[in-house]
Amino acid sequence: MKTINFKDFNLEINLTYFINIIGLPASGKTTLLKMLINRIYSPNIYIDDISIHEYDLGYKKQNVAVVFNDFKFNTEYVKEELLYYQEKLGTNKTNAYRKIDKFTKYFELNDLIESKIEYLNKSEQALIKILSLLIINPKVLGIDDLFTYLNINEKIKIIKIAKEKNISILNITTDSEDLLLGTHIIILNKFKVISYDTNKNTLKNEKLLLETGFDLPFIINISNGLNYYDITKKTYYKNKDLVEDLWK
């Protein structure tokens, strides 16, 4: 899967491992994801130049998934939730539990894996919601403003899996720090695209970001201030790079 074309939005997305989608309230962000999985019908969505409605339903269930910001779950327990979509797709039980074991170790879920979901905090619940679909390895995973609940280590681990498994994450976010992650940023306004560019090019346009309700990420604000006082001469996108240059 290489492209998704939302003709209603005049938006063709060249799929990479992580793309942020931002915009003011009611700009169409969640609607975009709902259209992708047919919660809102649209005849104008194309995957690799073929109408999404021409694809087999089984193919779409396996390869196109969306996690919404509603904190609704299909089961009561964490392990059951990580098993749920795998069972729906007919995954062999042995393989399904093997995947759960790998996720438990990788995401350090040992203290949560046997827990009731209702006893988890919001951050833990958000992580489990995302992992319940990430575990089936879809080609495209839409995330509706749940990344904001995660810590940076959890985010990086999810992105690492996306890169390794050739998964494209479409991340709707209200957190400016997320804009440092991935490859591109799409900005929507009134159900149309007003910008679709690389992270670095978008982050250079502070005026556009402010109009969209976003401040610059903290590290960029810091480096801009250092540039103003001639302490540094470039914009930094990673804390590590800034610290290393300051200590040269």
Any idea what the CATH number is for the domain that residue 132 is in? 3.40.50.300
Closest to 181 (Cα-Cα) out of 1, 16, 2? 16
Number of domains the chain is built from: 2
Is there a single domain that holds both residue 17 and residue 134?
yes
Is residue 100 a part of any domain in this protein?
yes
pLDDT at site 235: 54
Alpha-carbon distances of 52 from 55, 108, 164, 186, rounded to whole Å: 6, 37, 25, 21
Is residue 208 a part of any domain in this protein?
no
Does the pTM exceed 0.85? yes
pLDDT per 10-residue tile (average), the chain, 248 residues: 96 97 96 96 96 96 96 97 97 96 97 97 98 98 97 93 96 93 94 95 91 78 46 50 43
Please identify which residue in the block is written with the tokens 């591109």.
184
Give backbone dihedrals phi and psi of 161, rounded to 5 degrees, phi first.
-65, -40
Range of the domain at 177: 3-203
Is there a single domain that holds both residue 232 and residue 109?
no
Is there a single domain that holds both residue 37 and residue 97?
yes
pLDDT at site 221: 53
What is the DSSP code string of 56-90? -HHHHHHHEEEE-TT---SSSBHHHHHHHHHHHTT
Residues in CB range of 176: below 8 A, 6 or more apart? 209, 214, 215, 216, 217, 218
pLDDT at site 91: 95
Is residue 235 a part of any domain in this protein?
yes
Is residue 210 a part of any domain in this protein?
no
Is there a single domain that holds both residue 29 and residue 152?
yes
Instruction: Classify burial at 142, counting beta carbons within 10 Å of its beta carbon; exposed 0-12, middle 13-18, buried 19 or more.
Output: buried
Is there a single domain that holds both residue 129 and residue 177?
yes
Is there a single domain that holds both residue 154 and residue 45?
yes
Closest to 146 (Cα-Cα) out of 132, 125, 167? 125
Give backbone dihedrals phi and psi of 230, rounded to 5 degrees, phi first.
60, 25
pLDDT at site 216: 77
Is there a single domain that holds both residue 124 and residue 89?
yes
pLDDT at site 1: 92
Is there a single domain that holds both residue 230 and residue 164?
no
pLDDT at site 228: 44
Please identify which residue in the block is written with the tokens 């939730």.
81
Consecutive H or E run containing 50: strand 50-51
pLDDT in tens, 182-224: 899 999 999 999 999 999 899 889 899 999 998 877 566 544 5
Is there a single domain that holds both residue 116 and residue 168?
yes
Is there a single domain that holds both residue 31 and residue 93?
yes
Is there a single domain that holds both residue 245 and residue 167?
no
Is residue 209 a part of any domain in this protein?
no
Please identify which residue in the block is written with the tokens 């915009």.
23
